[in-house]
Amino acid sequence: RIIIGETAFRTSLHAQETAGQKPLSVHSPPTAGCLDPAPWEDQVDAWGCSCCAPETKRQALRGTPGKGPAPSLSTGSSCIKYLIFFSNFLFSLLGLLALAIGLWGLAVKGSLGSDLGGPLPVDPMLGLTLGGLVVSTVSLAGCLGALCENTCLLHGFSGGILAFLALEALAGALVVALWGPLQDSLEHTLRVAIVHYQDDADLRFLLDQVQLGLKCCGAASYQDWQQNL
């Protein structure tokens, strides 16, 4: 059988040489203009990445039809990419810092869920913790998405930014629409805070900062402090 196979193979080669065709070698590498898809299949199978679909591998190897391999990012796109990365990296650090300070404050005070009936409806440290968590999550998504060029992370970052903008617009519209009731509610809250000034350290700090920053004393006048025994 081996002798018959070799004879048939040599006869085929002799026929190709007689017809003026270049004999093909089974061990020769494929040329650049080869239209046979088998060499591309070999390269796809040899690619060790298991996370990409075979069609994606073929497109990466062949590039855009008629244009060669996919071009790299332009200078402007690279600048935008690294600008998004560094800005989100800075905001992620600030968010993580706020998260750490909030968790530290809750751990030191031990007030998580213990001050529900106090003068403040929510512990300021809890608000700082939740704000730092949200900001750091969105910023890290934008940072890693820009660095790795991951569309899923970039979509999540864009969604978070749009949600922030929508909430800000909604808050502004509510302030404009409910300005009168908000003033009355704020005045009532300040009077309650004056009465409970000595009861909570956070309340005392916030009230002092408001009065120092606005250069005021009391809700309507300094006589409001007569309500505090």
148-189 pLDDT, tens per residue? 888 999 999 999 999 999 999 999 999 999 998 888 888 888
The pLDDT of residue 122 is: 63
Instruction: Determine the pLDDT at residue 34.
Output: 45
Q: Say yes or no to pLDDT of 47 above 60.
A: no
Would you say 155 and 144 are in contact if contact means Cβ atoms under 8 Å apart?
Answer: no
What would the two tokens of residue 12 be? 């085929």
Q: How many CB atoms lie within 10 A of CB 157?
A: 23
**Contact assessment for residue 158 and residue 145, using Cβ atoms and an 8 Å cutoff:** no
Handedness of CA 83, 84, 88, 89 (dihedral sign): negative
| More confident: 96 or 11 | 96
Calculated CA dihedral for residues 76, 80, 81, 82, nearest 10 degrees: 100
Percent of the chain past pLDDT 70, that is, above it, reads 62
User: Of 70-79, 117-126, 194-203, which range is least confident?
Assistant: 117-126
Predicted pLDDT at 19 = 56
The model's confidence at residue 28, banded by pLDDT at 50, 70 and 90, is: very low
pLDDT, residue 176, reads: 92
The reported pTM is 0.54
9-20 pLDDT per residue, tens: 666 656 655 555
Choice between 175 and 61, residue whose per-residue pLDDT is larger: 175
pLDDT at 177: 92
User: Rounded mean pLDDT of the chain?
Assistant: 75
Query: Where does the pLDDT of residue 72 fall: very low under 50, low under 70, confident under 90, or very high at 90 and above?
Result: low
> Is 201's pLDDT higher than 90?
no
Whole-angstrom Cα distance, residue 119 to residue 216? 21
Average pLDDT of 109-121?
54
Asked if residue 225 has pLDDT above 60, the reply is: yes
